[in-house]
Chains A and B, each alone.
Chain A
Amino acid sequence: MLKLPLLLAVLFLPLLLLSRSRKDPRPVTPARVIRVVFFLLAVIICVSLLGLFSGASAMDPLDTLRRLLAGTDDSRAWLNSSDGIILFSIRLPRILFAGIVGGSLAAAGVVFQGLLRNPLADPYILGISSGSAVGALCALLLGVGSSLGVSGLAFLGALLTVFLVYGIARTQSELHSTTLLLAGVIVNAFFGAVIMFLIATAGDRQLHNAMFWLMGDLSLAQWREIGLAGGFLVAGGGLILLHGRALNLLSVSEETAHQLGVAVERTKMLLLLCASLITGVAVSTSGIIGFAGLIVPHMMRLVVGADHRLLLPAAVLFGAAFMIVADTFARTLLSPAELPVGVITALCGAPFFIYLLRRRG
């Protein structure tokens, strides 16, 4: 149990170090971005190792390392033992997936908040959450489309919702942020009703699975999903990062962006599409993990500033670390029972956010 406070310390204390360097009045440089990236990568490695050795069956890290390095035959045998399987076939993929989901949600949160110029925006604001939930519940409760699986249907649901929302909001050649937000709210409300209907008519036995999916569950990840979500995060995140300066201008106002030479409509569409796809892929396997995509961008903005060329990579990496820690809590707090990770993200994210806000004011 001592590990949990240690995890929190490893996650949050480095932020204080980073935020001190925020006093630096110079603008963002590539060197500074790289520094922050390596710093946060180190944090991710630390929390991952801590997470790897926390859980229902206790393992000694040093002993494990010794066994791994002991010699080829010996370590291969150990890998097939129950300890080896738990570490590398259950915990490691889960930690990787937690990191990818956390990074994806944070990236999408940064983009949606910046593009819509709305601090309350999160990755789900355009209805991706409810759309994929309808898809997932169709699979879980009604057994529709079993060949696609839960995540396949959830991704389909997310994709259809995104196109529906854009379709509603788009007028001729322009896409207004306010209309987009409203369309998202309406679609969210409609699918919310569909979700309620599905739950109300479901049998007791299926309900537990459905509730877990709705609150976010990282245990479903296989290597295939990890590769897929990771690939989307790297490709989409890279594309967003390439438009970091344009996103800065768009987050001031669309007129500003236009006056400073940005092709507003095209860039907006591209960024929204990237963020939506990243979210859709992650959510389709993880379920709806609330709060991380809202709070991590804010934390990072307080720590590294508003420039998206630094904010985006920082948020992705810290989002990953945050989610790994939250999932470790979810696995171990009531072990051997598990909590939905969404409960943890909200429980430990909110107080820290309040602290950051107060410290600043």
Chain B
Amino acid sequence: MNAIALNAVGFRYDVNWVLKDISCCIAKGEFVGILGPNGSGKTTLLKILDGMLKPQEGRVFMDGKPIASIRRNDLAKTVAVVSQDFRMTFPFTVREVVLMGRSPHLAKWRFEGETDLRIAERAMELTDTMSFAARSMEQLSGGERQRVFIARALAQEPQILLLDEPTAFLDIKHQIDFFDLVKSLNLKNHLTIVAVTHDVNLASLYCDRLILLRGGRMHIEGHPDEVITEANIAEVYQVTVGVDRSPVTNRPRITPCIGADPKNRSL
């Protein structure tokens, strides 16, 4: 069964279609990357999947059910989101933030019970955030904060995890740590992952399948080998790159050709 199915989805904020004719299926347990230049509709697509935006055209199915028929609260039990790192205005502690993930499972006036505490602790153990559970969020580094946000997402006990450029502000070590963690959750817990990213090489390393968007339409989808080609990247991103294979992982990787002359491949 598909975790997510999109059928000819179109979305517009005003008159111009931001997304048009998007049809694809994402199987349970898949790790899918969404690539595309700025303004190609990646984040809009993710916001449709988490129910924030309602498409004017086409249908979206989560777990076989039309997303429009799923109550907001129930959708939050299935789909969790980790976005770009951001600072909080108020001094919540790490444990409080992780426990927020239990919110969709609780009635409005209910406090978190023993079960919720246990689930939150397990999420913190999985993400290695237990050691600073009592600390305030503002005392953490960007990498630590993102791990806390994954822990919160796990506390939701979702089947689908949506990532919106989650490593945008992280250094290379924390980028790798982050995606290693997500990949292990994907393999061990059979979490379906949909990740929007600007980092083509990172996506190539971790994703089973890539969807390349261009101007709100699907340019191509498939295995990284099919998607990451010189022709596709040149067409979609308007840059000239060289594509070879990583000697470590045998996945395709891109190297931008810099300099005024696009034919200059000397680098």
Residue ranges of A at the interface with B (Cβ–Cβ < 8 Å): 25, 27-30, 113-114, 117-119, 242-243, 245-246, 248-249, 251-253, 255-256, 258-263, 301, 305-307, 309
Of the candidates A114, A242, A305, the one whose C-beta lies within 8 Å of that of B96 is A305
- A251's nearest neighbour on chain B, judged by CB, is B90
B240 at interface by CB-CB < 8 Å:
no
B93 and A243 within 8 A (CB): no
Interface readout for B59-90 with A: 1 if CB under 8 Å, 0 if not?
A: 00000000000001111110111010010111
What are 13 A-B residue pairs whose CB atoms fall within 8 Å in the complex?
A25-B133, A28-B96, A114-B90, A118-B89, A243-B108, A249-B103, A251-B89, A252-B90, A255-B81, A259-B50, A260-B100, A301-B91, A305-B91
Give chain B nearest CB distance to A271 CB in angstroms. Answer: 13
B52 at interface by CB-CB < 8 Å:
yes
Residue ranges of B at the interface with A (Cβ–Cβ < 8 Å): 50-52, 72-77, 79-81, 83, 86, 88-93, 95-97, 99-101, 103-104, 106, 108-109, 111-112, 117, 133-134, 156
**Residues in B neighbouring A29, C-beta threshold 8 A:** 111
Query: Which 5 A-B pairs rank lowest in CB-CB distance, beginning with the nearest?
Result: A261-B76, A25-B134, A261-B104, A261-B73, A306-B90
- A257's nearest neighbour on chain B, judged by CB, is B103
Of the candidates A117, A242, A245, A255, the one whose C-beta lies within 8 Å of that of B103 is A245
Give chain A nearest CB distance to B85 CB in angstroms. Answer: 12
A27 and B117 within 8 A (CB): yes
Give chain B nearest CB distance to A29 CB in angstroms. Answer: 6
- A241's nearest neighbour on chain B, judged by CB, is B109
The CA-CA distance from A248 to B72 in the complex, in Å, is 18
The CA-CA distance from A305 to B99 in the complex, in Å, is 15
B96 and A255 within 8 A (CB): no
**Residues in A neighbouring B117, C-beta threshold 8 A:** 27
B103 and A306 within 8 A (CB): no
Give chain A nearest CB distance to B150 CB in angstroms. Answer: 13
Having A252-B89, A255-B52, A306-B91, one finds 7 other A-B pairs with CB under 8 Å, namely A117-B90, A252-B100, A261-B73, A301-B91, A305-B92, A305-B93, A306-B90
A260-B101 contact given A25-B133, A114-B90, A252-B92, CB 8 Å threshold: yes
In the complex, which of the residues B75, B103, B117 has the most CB atoms of chain A within 10 Å of its own CB atom?
B103
Give chain A nearest CB distance to B43 CB in angstroms. Answer: 11
- A29's nearest neighbour on chain B, judged by CB, is B111
B108 and A242 within 8 A (CB): yes
A30 and B111 within 8 A (CB): yes
Of the candidates B88, B95, B103, B111, the one whose C-beta lies within 8 Å of that of A261 is B103
A255-B108 contact given A245-B103, A261-B76, CB 8 Å threshold: no
A306 and B100 within 8 A (CB): no
A260-B103 contact given A114-B90, A252-B88, A306-B90, CB 8 Å threshold: yes
**Residues in A neighbouring B108, C-beta threshold 8 A:** 242-243, 245-246
Give chain B nearest CB distance to A291 CB in angstroms. Answer: 20
**Residues in A neighbouring B109, C-beta threshold 8 A:** 242
A119 and B89 within 8 A (CB): yes
- B90's nearest neighbour on chain A, judged by CB, is A306
A258 and B91 within 8 A (CB): no
- A297's nearest neighbour on chain B, judged by CB, is B90
**Residues in B neighbouring A27, C-beta threshold 8 A:** 95-96, 99, 112, 117
